[in-house]
């Protein structure tokens, strides 16, 4: 065995040179891997004993791509492109033997081999677009030549991977290896040699792209198909342009075009933001005072109290991950309705072909409905998801404390309430914490895990693991009204409310927020949620915009009018002069002088209010680090990932600029705009939020 570099070896076995890569955790193509492959190929080509070459990886996966941590650092030769040129030019047959994920540069490496085999669980993808990039080592030029344009466009510009069966079907791999991968790869290469098979050089194979040379239609229709999802992002368009180049230019020129388009993205802010978000999402699970080896509880059975919208959605998360769920309601009709909604949701998924009828049945069979809390005696964790009422929650937790096993975790799905107060009614506050799901709970990725004063480390660590199992991004936050996400959201709601009272039409506020990159503006959102959420008809006294709207029966989409009008069966908001007049009359009564407000002011007031509150949240230790807040906003509130989250965005603008505006607003609008001490401190030290990550 020859040690090529610290991350690669070369072994010659039965006349086959086996380059083995070992660069945990994901065999990213950092310098020692790149150099190892280049040297391994070089030595194998020069060695007469070697008749064929295999690239295989140790550990949990084939190469998961370029080493993202190297981006932005001075490049170290050989670059991946150079290595793949050496591979492409090999006069001896080459094979990539794939398990785990051949992603990004990993798949580009495989595509530069003559042959590819994989085990049935292997996945293949070019997810660079999700990092605001495009495959920059020939992937956009080679993949269309192997799988055709339409498939390649989907894989490159959307970035979703495909499984091994599909890879075999579309010609991305030559064979599935059912048993031992290395053995299968050697046997495959023996066949190649015995049959003297021609070397399939992808760069020279134009068969699948020739027919579409000069045909722009396929690209235009693809652009249209992704327009909604790709809105605001730079990378998808560059991906498409690179594939167009593959079709219309000779290989070498296409590579050059790809390089330029890649560099354009690499130097932009969007990719920096998206790469930051990638690492930030992995960082959230690391809590400074909770070591990796913190003992965890074994959770198999989960109890959920409340089969309403939240409870039902939460139940689906657990069932999808294979947990047994006991769903508790107070009345049979509520239980039936809740179970009915869950079943309907699964049936819809099945009708789209994403789940079989048997799977629907097997998931439903994991849920047991009951009207008795006593049935929670043997569950390992309970999530209470009843409506926001402290007295009710306390009563439930007292009961749970007497019914549940001594080491059962008791979690509340409150959005605002004091988790410490709830914990205090039990004899085991160390087993109590908050699990704040976002609606719809079976869809939204965010989970705020609210750490109470007395929550034990083991309970917190276990809940983070559970979060991962149910496919959520679980972010730890401390106890305060609204925790991190909703507390910040309330600031934006306050400002958007003032803006319309001061004279900005709701459409203008919505457009500014939509154009910023959110999926919708605050007023379209309010109409969608329902104006009556949080409205009490008994105490309503025409004293807020919400109250005058609700009193007039304008409850949002569901009643056909709110801040906008809606046609029956159509969710498109139509500007409504009547609503504007109501707001205008109300504002006049309140003594507001109507004025024109610029888009820039709307943007700053809605976004800087978030930043300022985020800083206060950090100051108080409610969030662990700025990037956790960014992950909350990206995954729970639709903040555009290409702007990295509010704290990243503040650094992007310049924290000193933000501070200046906060001071100006404090002067104009008062105390609520007082800059957070943390911002003052960071600016004084010439630092940004990034220095706290």
Per CB under 6 A, which region of 125-133, 168-176, 241-249, 429-437 contacts ligand 3H9? 125-133
- Give dist(CA 129, CA 157) in Å, integer: 6
- Give dist(CA 34, CA 41) in Å, integer: 11
Of 261 and 512, the one with the shorter C-beta distance to ligand 3H9 is 261
Q: Give the nearest distance from C-beta 75 to ligand 3H9 in angstroms.
A: 9
Q: CB within 8 A of 400, min separation 6: which ones?
A: 373, 376, 382, 384, 408, 410, 426
Site string for ligand 3H9, 137-176 (x = CB under 6 A): x-x-------------------------------------
Closest CA to 84 of 60, 61, 107: 107
Q: By CB under 6 A, is residue 373 in contact with ligand 3H9?
A: no
Of 159 and 482, the one with the shorter C-beta distance to ligand 3H9 is 159
Applying CB under 6 A, what is the total number of residues that bind ligand 3H9? 25
Of 2 and 263, the one with the shorter C-beta distance to ligand 3H9 is 263
Of 274 and 546, the one with the shorter C-beta distance to ligand 3H9 is 274
Q: By CB under 6 A, is residue 429 in contact with ligand 3H9?
A: no
Per CB under 6 A, which region of 111-119, 130-138, 387-395, 430-438 contacts ligand 3H9? 130-138
Q: Give the nearest distance from C-beta 64 to ligand 3H9 in angstroms.
A: 3
Of 203 and 546, the one with the shorter C-beta distance to ligand 3H9 is 203
Peptide bond into 639 cis (omega under 30): no
DSSP string of 190-203? HHHHHTTPPP--GG
Of 128, 258, 380, 651, the residue at the interface with ligand 3H9 (CB under 6 A) is: 128
Interaction residues for ligand 3H9, span 83-102 (CB under 6 A) = 101
- Give dist(CA 319, CA 299) in Å, integer: 13
Q: By CB under 6 A, is residue 80 in contact with ligand 3H9?
A: yes
3-class DSSP state of 176: strand
Q: Measured in whole angstroms, how far is the alpha carbon of residue 63 from the centre of its chain? A: 21
Of 62, 103, 523, 586, the residue at the interface with ligand 3H9 (CB under 6 A) is: 103
DSSP string of 389-427? -HHHHHHHHHHHHHHS-TT-EEEE--SSS-HHHHHHTSS
Measured CA distances, 629 to 310, 392, 692 (Å): 23, 30, 12
As beta bridge partners, residue 176 has 118
Of 66 and 189, the one with the shorter C-beta distance to ligand 3H9 is 66
Of 108, 234, 448, 510, the residue at the interface with ligand 3H9 (CB under 6 A) is: 108
| Number of other CB atoms surrounding residue 564 within 10 Å | 22
Q: By CB under 6 A, is residue 135 in contact with ligand 3H9?
A: yes
Per CB under 6 A, which region of 103-111, 163-171, 408-416, 495-503 contacts ligand 3H9? 103-111
- Quick one: tokens of 305? 């109290």
Q: Cβ distance 113 to 37 under 8 Å?
A: no
Q: Give the nearest distance from C-beta 366 to ligand 3H9 in angstroms.
A: 24
Q: By CB under 6 A, is residue 132 in contact with ligand 3H9?
A: no
DSSP 623: B
Measured CA distances, 600 to 511, 512, 515 (Å): 12, 8, 12
Q: Give the nearest distance from C-beta 141 to ligand 3H9 in angstroms.
A: 12
Q: Give the nearest distance from C-beta 634 to ligand 3H9 in angstroms.
A: 16
DSSP 113: S
Of 84 and 404, the one with the shorter C-beta distance to ligand 3H9 is 84
| Number of other CB atoms surrounding residue 585 within 10 Å | 11
Q: Cβ distance 641 to 634 under 8 Å?
A: yes
Q: Give the nearest distance from C-beta 329 to ligand 3H9 in angstroms.
A: 36
Q: Cβ distance 400 to 382 under 8 Å?
A: yes
- Give dist(CA 240, CA 634) in Å, integer: 25
Sheet with 2-5: list strands edge to edge.
2-5, 8-13, 16-21, 52-57, 94-98, 115-118, 175-176
Of 164 and 450, the one with the shorter C-beta distance to ligand 3H9 is 164
Per CB under 6 A, which region of 20-28, 476-484, 549-557, 631-639 contacts ligand 3H9? 20-28
Q: Give the nearest distance from C-beta 621 to ligand 3H9 in angstroms.
A: 23
Site string for ligand 3H9, 30-69 (x = CB under 6 A): ----------------------------------xxxxxx
Q: By CB under 6 A, is residue 127 in contact with ligand 3H9?
A: yes
Measured CA distances, 531 to 386, 481, 558, 570 (Å): 20, 21, 9, 18
Q: Cβ distance 471 to 465 under 8 Å?
A: no
Q: By CB under 6 A, is residue 104 in contact with ligand 3H9?
A: yes
How would you classify the pairing of strands 94-98 and 115-118? parallel
How would you classify the pairing of strands 94-98 and 52-57? parallel
Of 16, 26, 411, 470, the residue at the interface with ligand 3H9 (CB under 6 A) is: 26
Of 258 and 401, the one with the shorter C-beta distance to ligand 3H9 is 258
Of 349 and 465, the one with the shorter C-beta distance to ligand 3H9 is 465
Q: Give the nearest distance from C-beta 259 to ligand 3H9 in angstroms.
A: 9
Q: By CB under 6 A, is residue 513 in contact with ligand 3H9?
A: no
Burial of 255 (0-12, 13-18, 19+ CB in 10 A): buried
What totals of helices (H) and strands (E) does the chain contain, helices first? Answer: 28, 20
Q: By CB under 6 A, is residue 136 in contact with ligand 3H9?
A: yes
Q: By CB under 6 A, is residue 27 in contact with ligand 3H9?
A: no
Q: Give the nearest distance from C-beta 122 to ligand 3H9 in angstroms.
A: 12
Residue 302 parent element (H or E): strand 301-305
Per CB under 6 A, which region of 129-137, 373-381, 474-482, 644-652 contacts ligand 3H9? 129-137
Interaction residues for ligand 3H9, span 565-584 (CB under 6 A) = none
Q: CB within 8 A of 522, min separation 6: which ones?
A: 492, 493, 496, 509, 510, 513, 606
Q: Measured in whole angstroms, how far is the alpha carbon of residue 539 from the centre of its chain? A: 40
Of 251 and 489, the one with the shorter C-beta distance to ligand 3H9 is 251
Q: Give the nearest distance from C-beta 25 to ligand 3H9 in angstroms.
A: 4
Interaction residues for ligand 3H9, span 258-297 (CB under 6 A) = 279, 282
Q: By CB under 6 A, is residue 105 in contact with ligand 3H9?
A: yes
Interaction residues for ligand 3H9, span 447-466 (CB under 6 A) = none
Q: Give the nearest distance from C-beta 123 to ligand 3H9 in angstroms.
A: 8
Q: Give the nearest distance from C-beta 148 to ligand 3H9 in angstroms.
A: 20
- Alpha-carbon Rg for the chain, nearest whole angstrom, is 28
For the annotated catalytic residues, the residue numbers are: 108, 128
Of 25 and 295, the one with the shorter C-beta distance to ligand 3H9 is 25
Q: Give the nearest distance from C-beta 262 to ligand 3H9 in angstroms.
A: 7
Of 133 and 158, the one with the shorter C-beta distance to ligand 3H9 is 133
Closest CA to 38 of 69, 3, 4: 4
Closest CA to 126 of 116, 118, 109: 109
| Site of interaction with ligand 3H9 (CB under 6 A) | 25-26, 28, 64-69, 80, 101, 103-105, 108, 127-128, 131, 133, 135-137, 139, 279, 282
């Amino acid at each position: 065995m020859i040690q090529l570099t610290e991350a690669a070896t070369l072994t010659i076995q039965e006349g086959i040179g086996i380059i083995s890569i070992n660069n945990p955790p994901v065999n990213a193509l950092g310098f020692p891997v790149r150099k190892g492959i280049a040297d391994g190929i070089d030595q194998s080509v020069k060695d007469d004993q070697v008749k064929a070459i295999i690239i295989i990886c140790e550990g949990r996966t084939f190469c998961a791509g370029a080493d993202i941590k190297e981006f932005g650092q001075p490049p170290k030769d050989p670059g991946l492109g150079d290595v793949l040129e050496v591979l492409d030019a090999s006069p001896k047959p080459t094979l990539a033997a794939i398990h785990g994920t051949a992603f990004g540069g990993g798949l580009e490496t495989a595509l530069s081999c003559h042959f590819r085999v994989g085990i049935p669980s292997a996945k293949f993808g070019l997810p660079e677009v999700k990092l605001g990039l495009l495959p920059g080592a020939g992937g956009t030029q080679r993949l269309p030549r192997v799988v055709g344009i339409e498939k390649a466009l989907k894989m490159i510009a959307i970035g979703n991977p495909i499984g091994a069966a599909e890879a075999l079907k579309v010609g991305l791999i030559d064979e599935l290896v059912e048993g031992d991968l290395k053995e299968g790869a050697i046997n495959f290469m023996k066949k190649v040699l015995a049959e003297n098979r021609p070397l399939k050089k992808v760069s020279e194979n134009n068969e699948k792209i020739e027919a579409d040379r000069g045909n722009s239609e396929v690209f235009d229709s693809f652009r249209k198909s992704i327009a909604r999802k790709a809105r605001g992002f730079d990378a998808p368009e560059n991906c498409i342009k690179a594939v167009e180049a593959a079709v219309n230019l000779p290989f070498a020129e296409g590579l050059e075009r790809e390089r330029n388009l890649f560099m354009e993205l690499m130097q932009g802010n969007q990719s920096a933001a998206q790469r930051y978000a990638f690492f930030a999402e992995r960082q959230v699970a690391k809590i400074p005072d909770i070591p990796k080896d913190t003992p965890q509880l074994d959770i198999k059975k989960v109890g959920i109290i409340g089969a309403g919208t939240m409870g039902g959605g939460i139940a689906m998360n657990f069932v999808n991950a294979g947990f047994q769920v006991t769903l508790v309601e107070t009345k049979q009709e509520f239980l039936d309705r809740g179970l009915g909604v869950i079943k309907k949701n699964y049936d819809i998924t099945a009708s789209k072909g994403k789940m079989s009828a048997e799977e629907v049945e097997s998931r439903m069979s994991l849920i047991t409905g009951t009207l008795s809390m006593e049935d929670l005696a043997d569950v390992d964790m309970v999530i209470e998801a009843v409506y926001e009422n402290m007295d009710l929650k306390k009563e439930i937790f007292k009961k749970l404390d007497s019914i549940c096993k001594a080491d059962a975790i008791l979690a509340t799905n409150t959005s605002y309430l004091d988790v410490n107060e709830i914990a205090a009614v039990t004899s085991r506050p160390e087993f109590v914490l908050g699990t704040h799901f976002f609606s719809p709970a079976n869809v939204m990725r965010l989970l705020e895990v609210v750490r109470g004063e007395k929550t034990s480390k083991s309970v917190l660590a276990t809940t983070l693991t559970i979060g991962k199992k149910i496919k959520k991004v679980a972010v730890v936050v401390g106890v305060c009204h609204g925790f991190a996400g909703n507390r910040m959201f309330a600031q934006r709601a306050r400002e958007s409310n003032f803006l319309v009272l001061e004279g900005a039409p709701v459409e203008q506020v919505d457009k500014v927020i939509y154009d910023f990159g959110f999926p919708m503006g605050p007023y379209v959102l309010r109409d969608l949620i329902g104006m009556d959420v949080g409205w009490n008809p008994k105490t309503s006294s025409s004293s807020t915009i919400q109250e005058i709207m609700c009193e007039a029966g304008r409850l949002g989409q569901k009643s056909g009018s709110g801040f906008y009008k809606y046609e029956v069966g159509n969710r498109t908001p139509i500007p409504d002069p009547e609503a504007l007049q109501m707001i205008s009359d109300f504002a006049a009564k309140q003594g507001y002088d109507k004025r024109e407000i610029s888009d820039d002011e709307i943007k700053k007031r809605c976004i800087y209010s978030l930043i300022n509150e985020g800083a206060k949240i950090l100051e108080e230790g409610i969030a662990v680090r700025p990037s956790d807040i960014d992950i909350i906003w990206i995954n729970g509130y639709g903040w555009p990932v290409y702007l990295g989250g509010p704290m990243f965005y503040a650094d992007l603008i310049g924290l000193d600029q933000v501070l200046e505006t906060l001071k100006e607003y404090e002067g104009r609008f008062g105390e609520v705009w007082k800059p957070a001490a943390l911002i003052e401190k960071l600016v004084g030290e010439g630092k940004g939020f990034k220095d706290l990550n």
